[in-house]
Amino acid sequence: MKKLLLVSFSLLSVHFTNAQTPAFCDSVYQWFNEIKQATSESQQLWRHNLYGPMLLVNPDTRQVFANEQDSAGLLKKTGSIYIGMLPSEKNIANTAIDWSGKKWAMIILPLPPDFHERINLMAHELFHRAQTSLQFDLREVANNHLDEMNGRIYLQLELAALMKALESSLAGRKQHIKAALIFRAYRYSLYPGADSTENEVEINEGLAEYTGLITSMRNRQETLVHFQQEAAILLQTASFVRSFALYTIPLYGYLLHDSLALWNQDITSHTSLNAYFKKAFNISLPGNLKAQTAILAQQYNGQTIIVAETAREAKKQQELAAYKQLFIQQPHLDIALEKMNCSFNPGKIIPLEDIGAVYLTMRVTDNWGVLTVEKGALMHNSWKKITLSTPLATQGNTIEGDGWKLLLKEGYTVKKDAAGGNYMLVKQAD
């Protein structure tokens, strides 16, 4: 799922309640034509034209604008596009979705006002729509080490070295790419298994974002500015655990693009991207990674990064203690997941030891109804249970707590365990 954009699209800050106006429909038709042309021109990238069914969704009204008819006829043709409503059981996110007989690329409105950013976003989600047909598995794994202080430090050093490589001449790039791979290797040495778990996400999200980058048709200067802006956005996110791959693989891939434009066609679901890039850039790593890392860190603003991350770590420990008290130690509400579908912001996830992760914002649909979270919920590692803070108010089938709302379907209710003091969602007997 493409990261939720952190910038304000002031030029498109419209309320879409009456968005079926001819002018807006003309804009939607233009956006579809833009991405159709861009994917056609870049189809050599995957030997496949990624253009296909697309849904642009207004998150406030759930109104959708599509480039083609759905199989069930739920969308009605208006001019040159199709308009309808997304049912409440479908979560809204930048993602690929199966709905009404087709697989769609879903994108949240408003779209970026910048042409290149708009194409980048749409191409990213079109890759996800075509991902299985391109023989890439859909896999999500945890990288909680990237919320640890050292994980964050050496990821930022890796990205800083890659940015230096991007800003350098072709002849001067290799030393920075080697430094980036040294920082990466040292991070892997600190967290056994990280090479595998990071690779899973980089295959899934990194290749999608690289596809968006190449399809966006930026020139070299525009690409440099794009990466500089993206680096600033990354530092504003609460966590790197899911968002990191949106930066690593596009950077490595773009740096390799000059000498091997279609390198991505060598990649399969089982490729080690780390090993691939070391070979492609013809780089051998030193034996003493720790010593080399300490020396190189000073060349990439290492001291400033370490100071900032040390301060963040102290604050994080206070937050984790508060979340443990909220979701574990004091009374809370447990919800068992039955047939769950959820959407969330990948930049707002806080791992909570070996228990799970606090998702600061999310929307979950299940057999029991719809849960909307705005101030945090604990998703357990099993993905079979969500824990919320204590319920504060009940009105009919709507239950609310601090920063969350639960809309229950008939047959479900929340009960309090008199002995333990906790609440749980239960299905009423017929």
Give the position of tokens 């080399």. 292
Using DSSP's 3-state secondary structure scheme, residue 411 falls into coil
Enumerate residues 6+ apart whose C-beta is below 8 A from 390.
Answer: 330, 331, 332, 333, 401, 423
Averaged pLDDT, 124-140: 94
pLDDT > 90: what percent of the chain? 89
b/e per residue 336-369 (b: at least 16 CB within 10 A): ebeebebbbbbbbbbbbeebbbbbbbbbbbbebb
Give the pLDDT confidence of 373-401 residue by residue, as tens digits.
999 999 999 999 999 999 999 999 999 99
Among the listed residues 250, 257, 247, the one whose alpha carbon sits nearest the alpha carbon of residue 280: 257
Tokens linked to 310: 């040390």
331 in Cβ contact with 421 (< 8 Å): yes
Classify strands 341-344 and 95-99 as parallel, antiparallel or unpaired.
unpaired
Work out the percent of the chain whose per-residue pLDDT is above 70: 95
Which residues does 209 contact at the CB level (< 8 Å), separation at least 6?
2, 120, 124, 245, 246, 247, 249, 250
pTM beyond cutoff 0.85? yes
Is residue 290 within 8 Å of residue 187, measured between CB atoms? no
Q: How confident is the model over 227-239, as a mean pLDDT? A: 91
Sorted by where each begins, the domain ranges of the chain are 10-130, 144-300, 317-427
What's the full length of the chain, in residues? 430
| Residue 33 CB contacts under 8 Å (≥ 6 apart), including other chains | none
Per-residue pLDDT averaged across 264-278, rounded? 98
Residue 251 neighbours by CB under 8 Å, 6+ apart: 159, 162, 163, 165, 166, 227
**How many secondary structure helices (H) and strands (E) does the chain include?**
11, 19
pLDDT band of residue 220 (cuts 50, 70, 90) is very high
pLDDT of residue 3: 44
Query: Could you tell me where the DSSP H helices lie in 288-369?
Result: 289-297, 302-324
262 contacts: CB under 8 Å, gap ≥ 6? 44, 45
d(CA 326, CA 332): 7
User: Lowest-pLDDT range, 54-58, 231-235, 254-258, 304-308?
Assistant: 231-235
Confidence of residue 237 (pLDDT cuts 50, 70, 90): confident
